């Protein structure tokens, strides 16, 4: 992968991921806001992009791998589950902040900065976690989803989302002493 920056800070209360992405800021913004593009790396769903608006998510992780890869048993029942979160701040194309689990599992902040030569620096912070279990769970998820985003924007294949997820979850678990 040609991306030069991949930095993670994981604690029991806060996750922080930095990624250098091979796309201009407007393209990365589209991958955050456009439901069809967001579905290619995270989850799609209806979006009302303004403060107080909703950011929809539909669990369809089977579509994140380019190859046919079955979901691990513990995630298989989530297929098709849909919900929405509240956008608390938005400043296109630089800032998107939204709740997670209606704020019970914290708040996610995604900041975008132009990094030169048509690249973008993405910083994702998920603050307000409820402890090591959340850090492992969300750390695994965000780490894997951001890896897919990096690959999609670089035009690279994503063979197996669930392998990326297992690697990210293991790193997050080790960071908070759950390994």
Q: Which domain holds residue 123?
A: 6-175
- Predicted pLDDT of residue 1: 39
Does residue 108 fall inside a structural domain? yes
Number of domains in the chain: 1
Rounded Cα distance between 80 and 60, Å, is 6
Does residue 116 fall inside a structural domain? yes
The domain that holds 16 is classified in CATH as: 3.30.530.20
Burial class (CB in 10 A: 0-12, 13-18, 19+), 101: exposed
Residue 108 has pLDDT above 60, yes or no: yes
pLDDT of 57-81, one tens digit each? 999 999 999 999 999 999 999 999 9
Does residue 1 fall inside a structural domain? no
Query: Whole-model pTM?
Result: 0.95
Q: How many CA atoms lie within 13 A of 119 on its CB side?
A: 14
- Predicted pLDDT of residue 179: 75
């Amino acid at each position: 992968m040609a991306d030069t920056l991949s930095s993670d800070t994981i604690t029991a209360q806060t996750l922080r991921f930095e990624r250098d992405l091979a796309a201009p800021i407007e393209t990365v913004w589209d991958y955050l806001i456009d439901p069809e593009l967001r579905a290619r790396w995270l989850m799609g769903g209806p979006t009302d992009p303004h403060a107080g608006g909703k950011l929809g998510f539909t669990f369809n992780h089977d579509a994140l791998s380019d190859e046919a890869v079955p979901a691990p048993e513990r995630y298989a029942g989530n297929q098709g589950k849909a919900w929405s979160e509240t956008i608390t701040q938005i400043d296109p194309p630089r800032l998107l902040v939204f709740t997670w689990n209606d704020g019970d599992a914290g708040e996610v902040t995604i900041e975008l900065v132009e990094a030169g030569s048509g690249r973008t620096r993405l910083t994702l912070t998920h603050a307000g976690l409820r402890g090591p279990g959340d850090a492992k769970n969300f750390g695994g998820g965000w780490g894997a989803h951001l890896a897919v985003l990096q690959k999609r924007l670089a035009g690279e294949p994503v063979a197996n989302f669930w392998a990326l997820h297992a690697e990210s979850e293991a790193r997050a678990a080790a960071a908070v002493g759950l390994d």
